[in-house]
Amino acid sequence: DQQVKQNSPSLSVQEGRISILNCDYTNSMFDYFLWYKKYPAEGPTFLISISSIKDKNEDGRFTVFLNKSAKHLSLHIVPSQPGDSAVYFCAASPANNDMRFGAGTRLTVKP
Amino acid sequence: EPEVTQTPSHQVTQMGQEVILRCVPISNHLYFYWYRQILGQKVEFLVSFYNNEISEKSEIFDDQFSVERPDGSNFTLKIRSTKLEDSAMYFCASSLSGANVLTFGAGSRLTVL
């Protein structure tokens, strides 16, 4: 049931540079997309979201882009900071709240 | 800031034993969820609960699993007869409405021996 895919298990970037995390989905019924961030020994925390009526949403250093035709979304973090090092989960849901998560991408930001 | 609390943080049990994982969702939230993450794998949806009944469940959530909101504040996940493959981190989450932003607890690690 791989409806949400994050094909890169890990990503390493230098502090100050841009981090780009990618996510693909297969279910065309998904209309709400979210990114969660997870530190070790903690539950996922909500980071940023985007609905299917938009193609971009920005919140400070974080921007999510949605390409509906390609069923692809990405999270951009710029500039990246060492505190951003965490596992990032892409999630998607249709209106009924049955949220599906990707496998996660471990981001390491090196000082 | 309101948070979702889960107990225990870690439970070790023998195969075949019953386990109850407890969660206290955020007090004004109406939707409740259980997810799990097997070590090294993705976060998987188990079940969602609204208005005192299950609203959605995944294929993982078989007859060995049940959920209950016994007293209006706790939300529990019971595994009747644990299997080795039930070893995972179990996350409870809640949300206020269909806005879809979930607040997660810190998780309960279940180890089945």
**Residue range B33-63, pLDDT digits in tens:** 999 999 888 888 899 999 899 988 999 999 9
Is the pLDDT at B70 greater than 90, yes or no?
no
- Of the residues A97, A100, A106, the best mutation for testing chain B's interface (the one with the most B CB atoms within 10 Å of its CB) is A97
Residue B72, min C-alpha distance to chain A (Å): 21
- Of the residues B53, B97, B102, B108, the best mutation for testing chain A's interface (the one with the most A CB atoms within 10 Å of its CB) is B102
Write down how long chain A is. Answer: 111
Q: Using pLDDT thresholds of 50, 70 and 90, give the confidence band for residue B98.
A: low
Q: Using pLDDT thresholds of 50, 70 and 90, give the confidence band for residue B1.
A: confident
DSSP chain A: --SEE---SEEEEETTS-EEEEEEE--TT--EEEEEEE-TTS--EEEEEEETT-SEEEETTEEEEEETTTTEEEEEESS--GGG-EEEEEEEE-TT---EE---EEEEEE-
Confidence at residue B67, expressed as pLDDT on a 0 to 100 scale: 97
With a pLDDT cut of 90, the percent of chain B lying above it is 69
Confidence at residue A1, expressed as pLDDT on a 0 to 100 scale: 58
Q: Using pLDDT thresholds of 50, 70 and 90, give the confidence band for residue B78.
A: very high
Confidence at residue A92, expressed as pLDDT on a 0 to 100 scale: 92
What is chain A's pLDDT, residue by residue, as a tens digit (111 residues)? Answer: 578 999 999 999 999 999 999 999 998 889 899 999 999 878 899 999 999 999 999 999 999 999 999 999 999 999 999 999 999 999 998 866 678 889 899 999 999
Contacts of B35 in chain A (CB under 8 A): 101
Contacts of B91 in chain A (CB under 8 A): 43-44
Chain A residues whose C-beta is within 8 A of a chain B C-beta are 1, 32, 34, 36, 41-46, 49, 89, 93, 95-104
Contacts of B104 in chain A (CB under 8 A): 36, 43-45
Contacts of B105 in chain A (CB under 8 A): 43
